[in-house]
C-alpha cells in the first residue's frame, strides 16, 4: 500500500513502533499463553478448570463483583447527579475525590479496608454488632470491590448528564410532569447507555480484582477464595496448567461481559436510528 496519497509523514515509522511494541509486550506473551494452554487438551482443561473448589472461586468473584457493580451503579448515578445538577460547598473536592480508587494502590486500599471492617475496626464493630460479618466474608469482598469500582459509573454518566438538553425537561415540566416523573421518563432513559457502560467496566474490573480483595477476603478454601487468588495458589504449587485453565475461564468471562455490553449498545443505536 505505502503512504501514497498521505500528506502527513510518519505512517511507516509509527506503524513500526506500534506493532513492534504491541508484539513484544502483548501479543508474544498472549501467544505463549495460548500455546501452553492448548497443549493441555480438553479433558485436562475441564478437569482443572471446573474442580469444585475452583468453581466456587468463580462464583465468589462473579457474585461479589455483580453485587458491587449494582451498588456502584446506584451511588454512581447519585454522585453524577449531585455533581452535575447541584451547587454546594466542597463540590470540587468531592469531584476530584471520586478518582481516588484509580490513584490509590490496591494493596493500600486492601489493608486499610480490612483494618476498618474487622470485628474491632472502626466500621466493623458496628456491623458485627448488627450481625453482619464485614471482614473475611462475601460482604468484605463486596466492600473491597465497591471501593475499586466507584469511579466507573460516575465518570461515564457525568458527561452525558451534563450534555442533556434542558429544553426536554422544561417541556416535561410545562406539560405538568413532576420532578420524579420527569426523571423516570425523560432523563433516566438517556442515562441507561452510560450507566450500563459504567456497570460493565466496574463488573469486569471486579471479577479480575486481586490486590484490594486478598486482605479482606480471608481466603478460606470453599468459602472466600476468589478466582484470581486461586491462580496465585496454583502457581505457588507450580501447577501451571491449572493456573492457565482458570485464567482461560476468567478471560472468557470478562470478554463475554464486555462483548454483550458492546452488542447491547449497538442494538440500541440501531433501534434509535430506525
Partner 1 sequence: MAVSVTRNRFLSADFEAKQQRTSVSSEIFVKWLLIFLGAAFLFVMLILPLVLVGFEALAKGWDAYLAALTEPFARKAFLLTAEATVIAVLLNVVFGLASAWLLTKFDFRGKAVLGSLIDLPFAISPVVAGLFFIMLFGRMSPIYQTLQDLHVAVVFAVPGIILATVFVTFPFITRELVPVMEAQGRSEEEAAATMGAGGWTIFRRVTLPNIKWGLIYGIILCTARAMGEFGAVSVVSGHIRGKTNTLPLHIEILYNEYNFTAAFAVASILVFLAILILVLRNLVEWKLERKSERSGNHGL
**Near partner 1 in 220-249, by CB under 8 A:** 227-228, 231-232, 235, 240, 243-244, 247
Contact flag: residue 252 with partner 1 (CB under 8 A) = no
In the list 68, 127, 141, 207, the residue contacting partner 1 (rule: CB under 8 A) is 207
Minimum Å distance from CB 236 to partner 1?
Answer: 10
Nine-digit cell string for 245: 485453565
- Give residues 102-131 in contact with partner 1 (rule: CB under 8 A): 102-109, 111-113, 115-116, 122-123
The answer to whether residue 84 forms part of the interface with partner 1 (CB under 8 A) is no
Q: Is residue 44 involved in binding partner 1 (CB under 8 A)?
A: no
Residue 258 interacts with partner 1 (CB under 8 A): yes or no: yes
Smallest distance from the beta carbon of 41 to partner 1, in angstroms? 15
H helices, E strands: number in the chain: 15, 0
Q: Which three cell numbers stand for residue 50?
A: 471446573
Nearer to partner 1, 91 or 185 (CB): 91
Evaluated on CA atoms 120, 125, 131, 133, the torsion sign reads negative
- Interface size with partner 1, residues (CB under 8 A): 84
Nearer to partner 1, 74 or 274 (CB): 74
C-beta of 132: minimal distance to partner 1 in Å?
Answer: 14
Say if CB 51 and CB 126 are below 8 A apart.
no
**Distances 3 to 11, 17, 103 between C-alpha atoms, Å:** 7, 16, 41
C-alpha 266/C-alpha 235 separation (Å) is 39
Among 69, 146, 196, 242, binds partner 1 (CB under 8 A): 146
Q: Which of 73, 94, 100, 107 is nearest to 201 (CA)?
A: 73
CA–CA distance, 262 with 254 (Å, rounded to integer): 12
Amino acid at each position: 500500500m505505502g503512504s501514497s496519497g498521505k500528506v502527513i509523514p510518519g505512517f511507516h515509522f509509527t506503524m513500526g513502533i506500534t506493532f513492534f511494541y504491541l508484539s513484544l509486550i502483548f501479543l508474544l506473551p498472549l501467544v505463549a499463553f495460548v500455546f501452553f494452554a492448548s497443549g493441555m487438551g480438553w479433558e485436562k482443561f475441564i478437569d482443572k478448570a471446573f474442580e469444585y473448589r475452583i468453581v466456587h472461586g468463580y462464583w465468589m468473584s462473579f457474585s461479589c463483583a455483580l453485587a458491587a457493580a449494582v451498588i456502584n451503579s446506584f451511588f454512581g448515578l447519585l454522585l453524577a447527579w449531585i455533581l452535575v445538577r447541584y451547587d454546594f460547598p466542597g463540590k470540587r473536592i468531592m469531584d476530584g475525590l471520586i478518582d481516588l480508587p484509580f490513584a490509590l494502590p490496591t494493596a493500600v486500599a486492601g489493608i486499610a479496608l480490612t483494618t476498618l471492617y474487622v470485628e474491632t475496626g472502626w466500621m466493623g464493630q458496628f456491623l458485627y454488632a448488627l450481625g453482619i460479618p464485614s471482614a473475611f466474608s462475601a460482604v468484605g469482598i463486596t466492600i473491597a470491590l465497591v471501593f475499586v469500582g466507584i469511579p466507573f459509573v460516575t465518570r461515564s454518566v457525568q458527561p452525558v448528564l451534563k450534555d442533556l438538553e434542558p429544553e426536554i425537561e422544561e417541556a416535561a415540566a410545562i406539560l405538568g410532569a413532576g420532578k420524579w416523573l420527569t426523571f423516570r421518563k425523560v432523563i433516566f432513559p438517556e442515562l441507561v447507555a452510560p450507566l450500563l457502560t459504567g456497570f460493565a467496566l466496574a463488573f469486569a474490573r471486579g471479577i479480575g480484582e486481586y490486590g484490594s480483595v486478598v486482605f479482606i477476603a480471608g481466603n478460606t478454601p470453599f468459602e472466600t477464595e476468589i478466582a484470581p487468588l486461586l491462580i496465585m495458589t496454583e502457581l505457588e504449587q507450580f501447577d501451571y496448567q491449572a493456573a492457565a485453565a482458570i485464567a482461560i475461564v476468567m478471560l472468557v468471562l470478562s470478554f463475554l461481559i464486555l462483548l454483550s455490553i458492546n452488542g447491547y449498545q449497538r442494538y440500541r443505536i440501531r433501534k434509535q436510528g430506525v
